[in-house]
Structure 1
């Protein structure tokens, strides 16, 4: 296969923030053409999990998502802190968002949310055997409602288009496949 990689000639940061950074790259394509401005969003890596309790219930969270102006039904997840291993970030996010502790957490896939415009990855996990050990400890701007669902109910929510966050649909697909729930 031919080399398709672009060479970055220079980068300029246009905005640096705690959740997103925007830079403009000047790049040279393999055939010598130059792309004067290619905008890249730098985000920290993310993690999410299909979290199944010891009673075989799937934990879902409902929260407001301002950029899209929607109340979204999702799986638990969030940002992996700098220097944190993805699985430890996932373990922390599960405890903070749901109050459940999970000892059995397995990576089911790693995806790129949008490799055309952003540089981060999402680590998708299947967490099993969760036990409620505390109340939620949410970030300053988080308001989450946790609900429990059977696997059949989650499959119906997906079929009905009620879970619309693409990265969460991806994690659910891989987890349901791992559990032998897709036919």
Structure 2
């Protein structure tokens, strides 16, 4: 056991849903005390930074129930049954934006909320997109609107909190950094 590791003594499954599983673990702390940890288990997700030929970033606007408001975000979605993240990225881009990617370049993987969830997000970028001839149906319970913005417009959306989630802010910072290189 490492210096800071917490050893799981007992796990209680609380909820098993379509997107997440919730469990409560009793853990032995490094100082030998026992504590509880509420954990969300998630299969992982992808985010895609699609850029059009005229250098606009393709976002989606959708209502987020936990926040009770709509956000503008990069297209993203959950991995299905140990699916390859690139497969998920292609599918989500097509379903949410009506664009198809030729090449996808891996940017980075990161944990979204490591204090309570194990969700890992794989981020891709593509400048190789074409509109689909026939739009794909999205998820039955997902309503999205495509929004195309320049990088400067996207940064203004951040200032206005219309873009207000970590993955999309990360994407914008990445694009800003690439512009400077």
Tell me the TM-score normalised to structure 1 length: 0.90
Q: CA deviation at 1:53?
A: 1.6
Aligned residues: 179
C-alpha contact 2:41 2:119 (8 A) present in aligned 1: yes
Q: CA deviation at 1:136?
A: 4.0
- Tell me if 1:164 matches 2:130: no
Map 1:29-40 to 2 at 5 A. 29-35=29-35, 37-40=36-39
Q: CA deviation at 1:8?
A: 0.9
Structure 1 residues without counterparts, runs of 5 or longer: none
Give the match for residue 6 of structure 2: 6
Give the match for residue 50 of structure 1: 49
CA distance in 1, matches of 2:65, 2:160: 23
Q: CA deviation at 1:16?
A: 0.7
- Which runs of structure 1 show a deviation greater than 6 angstroms over 4 or more consecutive aligned residues? none
Tell me the TM-score normalised to structure 2 length: 0.91
Distance 1:172 1:67, change over 3 A: same
Q: CA deviation at 1:181?
A: 4.8
RMSD: 1.7
CA distance in 2, matches of 1:82, 1:171: 26
Q: Deviations over 1:51-77 (max 9, x none)?
A: 102332211111111111101111111
